[in-house]
Structure 1
Amino acid sequence: MADYSRKQEALDYHAKPKPGKLAISVTKPFTTYEELSLAYTPGVAEPVKAIRDDPEAAFRYTSKGNLVAVISNGTAVLGLGDTGALASKPVMEGKAVLFKKFADVNVFDIEVDADNPKDFIDTVVRIAPTFGGINLEDIAAPHCFEIEKTLIERLDIPVFHDDQHGTAIIVAAGLINALELQGKKLADAKIVCMGAGAAGVASMNLLLEMGAQLENVFMCDRKGVIHSERDDLSEQKAQFATKTDLRSVDDAMKQADVFIGLSGPDTVSKEQIGMMPARPVVFALSNPTPEITPEDAQSVRDDLIMATGRSDYPNQVNNVLGFPYIFRGALDVRARRINMTMCVAAARAMGELARQPVPNSVLEAHSQDAMSFGPDYIIPSPFDPRLIDFIPPAVAQAAIATGVARTEYPSHYPQPVVEPKQG
């Protein structure tokens, strides 16, 4: 009965009082004939001519500069798989709500009925002039890699696949903090990544950029450790084919300072967690059912730090911590792309925020009397109002430093909290 009630509550939320979660509002006065003549003909001809003569004028005279397209073909929707484009629309609308709520970024959600990567890419390229950025969402691997890479090459606005890089940024932020609390360094840590899909590949690439060593990264798929003697590897998996004698997940876990799960439910046992060296870090991020529950992991280890993708446990790896603020920073300097340096800057800023005193508004949101940086608080809360002050400035500064920004550092921004590193 409880499951039915929750299901009906979700359906009613989306259906009433009006279907969907989005609407469009008018941003200019529009009550007189004079205002009509300015909004449409003949007045609208003036910005048209200005943009015809200088495409950059679109950022001044239209909503382009604060408008992101959230685009999916519905081939990998949440934990539901290939639902088709239309059925992905509630998720894309939800993403739009988060953009607007947390970073005041406007969104058009666009569902593209195209399983073929070329058709999808062609569609996005043709509609791209409308937007200041493209957020790809819920596109299955391996097509998501080709789609993102090609769109980045063909477009001069940021293209960001959140299932890859959004997840990677939050993972990196939390892991840096967790390792410090455990008295370990990223450069020395042996990392097992269960899952070689979009999020796994992007997360490991970002950690390598931030100082992890390739010889210490053991990515695992259904066949075990991805190693250099395997001849069945995709291009994405092959870059993590380590020269090693390790073959099984058990072999790898015996050496792992860090376990990162981006695979599926219940794929790691208590026995495997028990094999890990002292003071391990366990990120079991399959959602809604993690690779191993905190209860099971903590029943065999009292020295671990753990994160999941769920809101009912401490240390939730939640993409809403990232994408609204990353795009905010990118849009505010009219960035041509979101590059690795910008991702590193976002991760470092996010990690730094978790170390700051927690404001009362966050305590109230979590119904807690006290929260502070430590084993149960390595990642900021999504309700921390300071995310907008930490992440966009760091991203904007990194965009400027790497030459992908069209404008200077915004005068209304606070000074960046974290200095981004090059690379």
Structure 2
Amino acid sequence: MDDALRQAALNYHREPRPGKLSIEPTKRMETQRDLALAYSPGVAAPCLDIAANPDLARDYTARGNLVAVISNGTAVLGLGNIGALASKPVMEGKAVLFKKFAGIDVFDIEVDATDPDKFVEVVAALEPTFGAINLEDIKAPECFEIEAKLRERMNIPVFHDDQHGTAIVCAAAVRNGLLLQGKHLSEVKVVTSGAGAAAMACVRLLIAMGLPQDNVTLTDIKGVVYKGREGLTPELEPFARETNARTLGDVIAGADVFLGLSAPRVLKEEWLPLLAEKPLILALANPEPEVRPEIVQQVRPDAIMATGRSDYPNQVNNVLCFPYIFRGALDCGATTINAEMELACVEAIAELARIEPDEVVARAYGGAALVFGQDYIIPKPFDPRLALLIAPAVAKAAMATGVARHPIEDFVAYEQQLQRFAYRSGQLMHPVFEKARAAQTRVAYAEGEDERVLRAAQVVVDERLARPVLIGRRDVIKSKISGLGLRMAVGQDVEIVDPFADEEVLAPLTDGYQKIVDRRGVTPGAARYRMRGRPALTAAMLLQRGMVGAALCGGAADWWQQTADVLPIIPRLPGLQRVYALSALILGERTLFFCDTHMNVDPTAEEVAEMTVLAADAIRRFGITPRAALLSHSNFGASNSPSARKMREALALVREDAPELEIDGEMHADAALIPALRDLMVTSSSLTNGANLLVMPNLDAANIAFTLLSAATNALQVGPMLLGMSKPIHVLTASATARGIVNMTALAAAGNAAPGED
């Protein structure tokens, strides 16, 4: 670690407040009644219920989603025996990873006890507090004894991540590495450098997967583990070989797999030619591996290499495993994490690497196209789909082996719940996704050559949300599909409309467009030029002619220009005064909708009322009951300014046109969101809770509020959604992500549902 990185790390841990995590309440604490429910006397009710039925602790407390990360600091990665207190930054870091990747709450507990029995007594006594135990950075051989005793005494999962987490990710790398090398686990020779907790767990898991124990040779700091060697522990004794070999160099010849969990540079360059053809080299010592990848590439280009470092391909990182195996175990109420659950985790990780990476992964790693192969045999830690694959696989294995106290009855619903860990928009979009799947709409994408669109189209195909029609140069799109490692087949999964080659499609579209703009100063020649140079026009004309059922434009060009191109082709619904834009922000458990964020600079009272009713209808498509607030600088008649009067007039119009809608105004934004504050101002509000639809008096207010809150909270944006169009078409902003395009695809496709399906 250089001085700059060291100082940055110290500043990161110190500022703006010390440490990396805090505790936040999950219930409202605003009134005297809230206090009475949270503490005395209300807390007595759940206490008595739990005393009568301990299993109810899962329903009334955080225990079912709470893990203890526990260490005595005797074997901290790369630092050794630094003691319990010094290990606390590492344990806090582990807690943050649990929360970040799987939504699991964690208390880190540093136990000042090196005696295994004392340590076990401390941890076992904590069982009432936690749903599971993650042991961390405890040295061997004590870690074996500690985990075994705790698993025997405790009726919740106990998992030593340094052993089993490393083993699971390592096994997934071996599974895929051997697949690429054309080898089978039952036939390969494995040589280790290292025989500690992690190495032994790796070997045992590989044996459970089909590796013959006789095909394994262990070496450690004392050399080969052979029969008769002094000081063999009970863990090593079964693996001792009958051999005269004494050093790693003596046994490396012919090895198909080198598994290093030991020390820097122990695999000598001159030994590399001795390995079997097409070897798999896992050099996992950190920060300096047993052999550098550069050396392996030079001497053995036929090898597949993995390390424990993030700056090389194929990082074997425990974060690929532990958040999600605990997620699955907690969600089914598992009493332990057994071998079958670990194997299910291995297969899920290996499977994910064989699927093209998500856009989130590509962005996190510089936009590189990661394709299953020599440099990509295991997923990247930021892959949002890890939870979606691993947690259900683990829960199913727990149920199959009889250790799940709360079996999951509906895995489709469970996987939908897990979407909140993969994609923050998952819960909001679920009802829309279901409508889109039912509609099976052909959706045109104007920017069919855009990488984000192509990644989105693959997800749309996989999730059966729509049938994509990509607009762009056919050869470019096909090349990018291949280069990104996408699996969708042109002509089968997706269609392409090439404005430069498909004259039989473009000619009638151009003629139709010319008729629309004939009196707007657009000559026939200009119309042909526009249809090839502005793909939004092609998408809109495909929709106008009924050749597709919905369309998405924009994402790569000016939003206003794209919208201006679309509006003459796809007019607004009859009887409406304007087209409006609705945008949403997902802020944790709350979603707020903002109208009108993009279209109308200074709407009239009639237009405010119209947009409010349209927005409320759109919100209902998400399965959400709209609660609208007409916002102003004025609170309930406090001002007689033009904008305040406008919002009061709009309220009267909405109540007349849509009497079933919960709505109030004009009001401040804080009064709209906080019922207690609103109740101090008026006693007759029709809003039963905080508003979720915020309607602004003008475009400036709406756009500023939307973008400011988005930036300040790191909320997830959905939209803008065009309201009032006669056919489902939306214009993407330049900041749209692939997942955002997936969401907009579903909105467009669901908007094409038959009447009554909304």
TM class by smaller structure: over 0.9
Kindly provide the CA deviation profile for residues 279-334 of structure 1, in whole angstroms up to 9, marking residues without a partner as x. Answer: 00000000110001101122211100000000000000000000000000000001
What is the rounded CA distance, in whole Å, between the counterparts of 1:410 and 1:22 in structure 2? 34
Corresponding residue number in structure 2 for 1:329:
328
What is the rounded CA distance, in whole Å, between the counterparts of 2:123 and 2:16 in structure 1? 32
Preserved CA contact (<8 Å) 1:215 1:243: no
Preserved CA contact (<8 Å) 1:214 1:242: no
Kindly provide the CA deviation profile for residues 334-367 of structure 1, in whole angstroms up to 9, marking residues without a partner as x. Answer: 1000001100000011000000112222111111
Post-superposition offset of 1:230: 2.5
What is the aligned length? 415
Q: Is 1:262 aligned to 2:281, yes or no?
A: no
**Aligned with 1:109: secondary structure?**
strand
Corresponding residue number in structure 1 for 2:126:
127
Which amino acid in 2 is paired with 1:74? G
What is the rounded CA distance, in whole Å, between the counterparts of 2:128 and 2:186 in structure 1? 42
Corresponding residue number in structure 1 for 2:282:
283
Corresponding residue number in structure 2 for 1:391:
390
What is the rounded CA distance, in whole Å, between the counterparts of 2:357 and 2:93 in structure 1? 27
Q: Is 1:43 aligned to 2:42, yes or no?
A: yes
Query: 1:82-121 maps to which residues of 2 (within 5 A)?
Result: 82-121=81-120
What is the rounded CA distance, in whole Å, between the counterparts of 1:170 and 1:405 in structure 2? 23
What is the rounded CA distance, in whole Å, between the counterparts of 2:300 and 2:2 in structure 1? 33
Q: Is 1:356 aligned to 2:373, yes or no?
A: no
**Aligned with 1:413: secondary structure?**
helix
Query: 1:212-231 maps to which residues of 2 (within 5 A)?
Result: 212-231=211-230
Corresponding residue number in structure 2 for 1:298:
297
Query: 1:227-266 maps to which residues of 2 (within 5 A)?
Result: 227-266=226-265
What is the rounded CA distance, in whole Å, between the counterparts of 2:249 and 2:366 in structure 1? 39
Corresponding residue number in structure 2 for 1:186:
185
What is the rounded CA distance, in whole Å, between the counterparts of 1:239 and 1:350 in structure 2? 29
Q: Using a 3 Å threshold, how does the CA distance of structure 1 residues 410 and 105 change in structure 2: closer, same or farther?
A: farther
Post-superposition offset of 1:166: 0.2
Preserved CA contact (<8 Å) 2:192 2:259: yes
Corresponding residue number in structure 2 for 1:9:
8
What is the rounded CA distance, in whole Å, between the counterparts of 1:396 and 1:40 in structure 2? 34
Corresponding residue number in structure 2 for 1:56:
55
101-110 vs 267-276, greater mean Cα deviation: 267-276
Post-superposition offset of 1:251: 2.5
What is the rounded CA distance, in whole Å, between the counterparts of 2:244 and 2:96 in structure 1? 48
What is the rounded CA distance, in whole Å, between the counterparts of 1:234 and 1:410 in structure 2? 44
Preserved CA contact (<8 Å) 2:193 2:219: yes
What is the rounded CA distance, in whole Å, between the counterparts of 1:328 and 1:185 in structure 2? 31
Which amino acid in 2 is paired with 1:364? R
357-366 vs 5-14, greater mean Cα deviation: 357-366
Post-superposition offset of 1:222: 2.1
Q: Using a 3 Å threshold, how does the CA distance of structure 1 residues 244 and 414 change in structure 2: closer, same or farther?
A: farther
Which amino acid in 2 is paired with 1:121? V
What is the rounded CA distance, in whole Å, between the counterparts of 2:215 and 2:304 in structure 1? 20
Which amino acid in 2 is paired with 1:341? E
Question: Structure 1 regions of 5+ residues with no counterpart?
Answer: 417-423
Post-superposition offset of 1:244: 3.9
Post-superposition offset of 1:239: 2.0
**Aligned with 1:163: secondary structure?**
helix
Post-superposition offset of 1:223: 2.6
Which of the pair has more CA radius of gyration? 2
User: Of the two structures, which has the highest relative contact order with CA contacts closer than 8 Å and spacing of 6 or more?
Assistant: 1
**Aligned with 2:170: secondary structure?**
helix
Preserved CA contact (<8 Å) 1:220 1:226: yes
Post-superposition offset of 1:243: 3.3
What is the rounded CA distance, in whole Å, between the counterparts of 2:284 and 2:367 in structure 1? 24
Q: Pairwise CA RMSD of aligned residues?
A: 1.3
166-175 vs 367-376, greater mean Cα deviation: 367-376
Corresponding residue number in structure 2 for 1:413:
414
**Aligned with 2:186: secondary structure?**
coil
Post-superposition offset of 1:410: 5.4
Preserved CA contact (<8 Å) 2:333 2:407: no
What is the rounded CA distance, in whole Å, between the counterparts of 1:323 and 1:204 in structure 2? 19
What is the rounded CA distance, in whole Å, between the counterparts of 1:408 and 1:280 in structure 2? 42
Kindly provide the CA deviation profile for residues 90-116 of structure 1, in whole angstroms up to 9, marking residues without a partner as x. Answer: 000000000000000000000000010
Corresponding residue number in structure 2 for 1:141:
140
**Aligned with 2:187: secondary structure?**
coil
Kindly provide the CA deviation profile for residues 149-172 of structure 1, in whole angstroms up to 9, marking residues without a partner as x. Answer: 000000000000000000000000
Corresponding residue number in structure 1 for 2:373:
374
Preserved CA contact (<8 Å) 1:59 1:65: yes
Which amino acid in 2 is paired with 1:268? L
Kindly provide the CA deviation profile for residues 26-50 of structure 1, in whole angstroms up to 9, marking residues without a partner as x. Answer: 1011111111110001110011101
What is the rounded CA distance, in whole Å, between the counterparts of 1:237 and 1:174 in structure 2? 24
Corresponding residue number in structure 1 for 2:470:
none
Question: Structure 2 regions of 5+ residues with no counterpart?
Answer: 419-758
Corresponding residue number in structure 2 for 1:419:
none
Preserved CA contact (<8 Å) 2:66 2:105: yes
Post-superposition offset of 1:382: 0.6
**Aligned with 1:27: secondary structure?**
coil
Preserved CA contact (<8 Å) 2:95 2:106: yes
Preserved CA contact (<8 Å) 1:333 1:410: no
Kindly provide the CA deviation profile for residues 348-396 of structure 1, in whole angstroms up to 9, marking residues without a partner as x. Answer: 1100000011222211111133111001000001111100101000000
Preserved CA contact (<8 Å) 1:322 1:346: yes
Corresponding residue number in structure 2 for 1:421:
none
What is the rounded CA distance, in whole Å, between the counterparts of 2:2 and 2:244 in structure 1? 47
Percent pairwise identity: 56
Q: Using a 3 Å threshold, how does the CA distance of structure 1 residues 245 and 356 change in structure 2: closer, same or farther?
A: same
Preserved CA contact (<8 Å) 1:281 1:306: yes
Preserved CA contact (<8 Å) 2:151 2:157: yes
Post-superposition offset of 1:245: 4.7
Corresponding residue number in structure 2 for 1:155:
154
